[in-house]
Chain A
Amino acid sequence: MIEFSLQIGTRIIRAILPELKKFFVVSPEFEDYTQVFPDQDDVDFNEAWIEGLANDAKSDRSALARFLESPRLQYGRVEVKEEDIDDLLRGITELRFTIRKTSLKNFDDSVLECGMDNLNLKDESVRIGYFGYLLLAEVQEKIICEIA
């Protein structure tokens, strides 16, 4: 088990958590698939490939659901079982892709990388999406530090 505390304040975490769960509900099981052979249009191969990835991603989604439902998360504490680490890291990535393509879809990558000073956070859905995006990044960073 790895455990750590988040830097983001608990007041913000409590505001974001319900929204992250909404993002989770609407997020696809596996999307943004890049065709592995861009110059070949083998429909059967591509279908089998994406089906395999989608099946494998189910455990990622389960780990992410457990993380979001963790009782201590609202207090800024993260606890991850060793066997869930890889699945959770992938699940978080999937959720960040969903937020990027929904709440943050109107921002260029360069603007997003420069941080909140360049973002118009007056829109509540953008603000929540952005802080959720940051919270998930912090969780990933800290897990990676812990296992390094």
Chain B
Amino acid sequence: MSSLKECSIQALPSLDEKTKTEEDLSVPWKVIVLNDPVNLMSYVVMVFRKVFGYNENKATKHMMEVHQLGKSVLWTGQREEAECYAYQLQRWRLQTILEKDD
């Protein structure tokens, strides 16, 4: 099962450290998955389990939020980890955005 530890640093885009302000680094970021018209429910659940290591119930709960509400916050935390999760989710073709957790 994939996890954050397996997130390939080389695969991630190189980000100019100067663009990361102190605020960016200290404020928590939310990893948000948006609904899309193509991906199967079972596929989305599988991806959430693979990327976050969630159990079936938790992954299904988030999938249903995405399906019914249009989006779900999958994880909240430091920006670099959030980027890593977002990259993995987009790698699986789930529409994912990051927002500051104000």
Q: Give residues in A with beta carbon < 8 Å to B.
A: 32-39, 42, 44-45, 47-49, 51-53, 55-57, 89-90, 93-94, 96-97, 100, 109, 112, 137, 140-141, 144-145, 147-148
Cβ contact within 8 Å between B86 and A36: yes
Cβ contact within 8 Å between B98 and A48: no
Cβ contact within 8 Å between A93 and B90: no
Q: Give residues in B with beta carbon < 8 Å to A.
A: 11-16, 19, 34, 37-40, 42-43, 46, 83, 86-87, 90-93, 95-99
Can you give 20 A-B contacts (C-beta < 8 A)?
Answer: A32-B93, A34-B90, A36-B83, A37-B97, A38-B99, A45-B19, A47-B13, A48-B13, A48-B15, A49-B13, A52-B12, A53-B91, A93-B39, A93-B92, A94-B93, A109-B37, A140-B43, A141-B40, A144-B42, A148-B46
Cβ contact within 8 Å between B92 and A48: no
